[in-house]
Structure 1
Amino acid sequence: MSEKPARSFDHVDTWVFDLDNTLYSHHLNLWQQVDDRIRSYVSEYLKVSKEEAFRVQKDYYKRYGTTMRGLMTEHGMEADDYLAYVHLIDHSPLKPNPELGAAIEKLPGRKLILTNGTRAHADAITKKLDIHTHFEDVFDIVAADLEPKPAKQTYDKFLKLHGVEPKSAAMFEDLARNLTVPHELGMVTTLVVPDGTREVLRQDWEMEGRGEPYVDHVTDDLTGFLVALR
């Protein structure tokens, strides 16, 4: 029995992008700053050592989609202070990326961001990359009622709010598990992986899934991939 061919982009009129480690290179390790601040927050909030905070952080991230959702579920944490604290990072490693901006601009149709981060975090990053003008809107964790990807209801809320027909949309993500629901809904899915020559700070499970049937395409060069689509 032959494998089904990967879905093409010929019919796509809505382009949906994750934010962190998707619209900027993994090797910048910008997310590591957020990761470190999450660990500090967990340590202080639960009054545990940094070592125990690391264990809890990664356990909740894997089981709940975000550490925040785990803290809310397991400990009744309020999200506002957490979100403000963990996204207070130095964005200076980011530089304008005119090539990526041009590639996004030339895609036919709408462009949206769907992130488990905050709108403020997305705005800061896209402005530093100088690509913010190419996106119609940002659907963030607050718009998702604090329910992160890969929860199906998060994608359903996004699609309904923005009037997106999934069968004519494409999704770009750096975590394969976050492409499961989009693929089931009919979206063309692309997994953005680290440049093979770069060292990145990721857990093993975060790097899995590139060979799964819900991943239509894989690239370690988002800009080049988008240019080639034209």
Structure 2
Amino acid sequence: MTNQPEPLNFAHVTDWIFDLDNTLYPHHSNLFSQIDVKMTDYVADLLKLSRTDARQMQKQFYKDYGTTLKGLMDRYDIDPDDFLQKVHDIDYSWLVPDPSLAIAIRQLPGRKFIFTNGDRGHAERAARQLGVLDEFDDIFDIVAAQLLPKPARETYDRFLARHNIDAASSVMFEDLARNLTVPKALGMTTVLIVPHNFEPTFSEIWERDPGHTDHVDYVTDNLASFLSAILPGQTALSVPA
């Protein structure tokens, strides 16, 4: 893992792949906290649990299945469309438009994709509020993944096949190191996005993924600055180790 992004190290990249939540938009926007609350409410209503018990079960689903949705589908055969609609009924005005990020993404040579465990509607609304939606060629969401979330290998294979992407000529940006394990094995360059002034206490223990850091090539807490640093002709900027 290195903390010096050099333009030369990204000269081979033809496809740029970005996770959405806490990656394209910053962790400190706290947008995902709204979704988190909605998921807890959904579990509580479905299973007639207290919010405390529902939250504990929700987090266990996340740990065991990769997403709360997958756990609920496997265990309780819920309607995924109903779940996705309800948990993404949130206030997107929490996101501050990021013109510098839009410019940086626009200047990247090649195709750009959003690859998310959320649904397309959520990705479109969030990216539109950020001011970056028009910079992307397509969105690969949980429905396109046939409801099998990252980090399942089949989901990455499905994404690459749909867009005819050569993994060795691509880079993936993610806020969860576990979701970079398969991309790294496939030959992608990997970039982990961490919260600004990251402290481990910001994340619950299974969300820190300490055992997956060997699959991370670069780490940054500022996506726009990182992308600007790797554009052809730019000078490398320091990002946190």
TM range (shorter): over 0.9
Query: Could you tell me how far apart the structure 2 residues matched to 1:88 and 1:201 are?
Result: 25
- Cα RMSD of the aligned pairs, angstroms, is 2.1
**1:209 Cα deviation from its structure 2 partner:** 3.4
Secondary structure, counterpart of 1:170 in structure 2: strand
In structure 2, the partner of 1:78 is 79
TM-score computed with the length of structure 2 as normaliser:
0.90
**1:199 Cα deviation from its structure 2 partner:** 10
In structure 1, the partner of 2:14 is 13
In structure 1, the partner of 2:34 is 33
Letter in 2 for 1:104: I
Distance 1:123-1:170 versus aligned 2 partners, 3 A rule: same
Does 2:189 correspond to 1:188?
Answer: yes
Letter in 1 for 2:11: D
**1:196 Cα deviation from its structure 2 partner:** 1.1
Letter in 1 for 2:98: N
User: Would the aligned equivalents of 2:41 and 2:51 in 1 still touch at CA under 8 Å?
Assistant: yes
**1:53 Cα deviation from its structure 2 partner:** 0.5
Query: Could you tell me how far apart the structure 2 residues matched to 1:39 and 1:211 are?
Result: 27
**1:208 Cα deviation from its structure 2 partner:** 3.1
Query: Could you tell me how far apart the structure 2 residues matched to 1:32 and 1:106 are?
Result: 31
Letter in 2 for 1:123: E
In structure 1, the partner of 2:224 is 223
Which segment is superposed worse, 73-82 or 216-225? Answer: 73-82
**1:205 Cα deviation from its structure 2 partner:** 2.2
Query: Could you tell me how far apart the structure 2 residues matched to 1:44 and 1:54 are?
Result: 12
Query: Could you tell me how far apart the structure 2 residues matched to 1:22 and 1:101 are?
Result: 14
Does 2:208 correspond to 1:207?
Answer: yes
User: Would the aligned equivalents of 1:103 and 1:226 in 2 still touch at CA under 8 Å?
Assistant: yes
**1:224 Cα deviation from its structure 2 partner:** 0.6
Q: Percent identity?
A: 50
Which segment is superposed worse, 184-193 or 206-215? Answer: 206-215
Map Cα deviations across residues 179-205 of structure 1 (whole Å, 9 max, x no partner).
Answer: 000000000000000011689853122
Moved over 6 A (4+): 197-200
Query: Could you tell me how far apart the structure 2 residues matched to 1:227 and 1:210 are?
Result: 29
Unaligned runs of 5+ in 2: 232-241
In structure 2, the partner of 1:151 is 152
Letter in 2 for 1:59: Q
In structure 1, the partner of 2:138 is 137
Aligned length: 227
Secondary structure, counterpart of 1:37 in structure 2: helix
Secondary structure, counterpart of 1:212 in structure 2: helix
Unaligned runs of 5+ in 1: none
Q: Which has the higher contact order (CA 8 A, sep 6+)?
A: 2
Map Cα deviations across residues 151-202 of structure 1 (whole Å, 9 max, x no partner).
Answer: 0000011000111110100000000000000000000000000011689853
Q: How does 1:81-96 map to 2 (within 5 A)?
A: 81-96=82-97
Query: Could you tell me how far apart the structure 2 residues matched to 1:206 and 1:188 are?
Result: 21
User: Would the aligned equivalents of 1:29 and 1:200 in 2 still touch at CA under 8 Å?
Assistant: no
Structure in which a larger fraction of residues adopt helix: 2
Secondary structure, counterpart of 1:191 in structure 2: strand
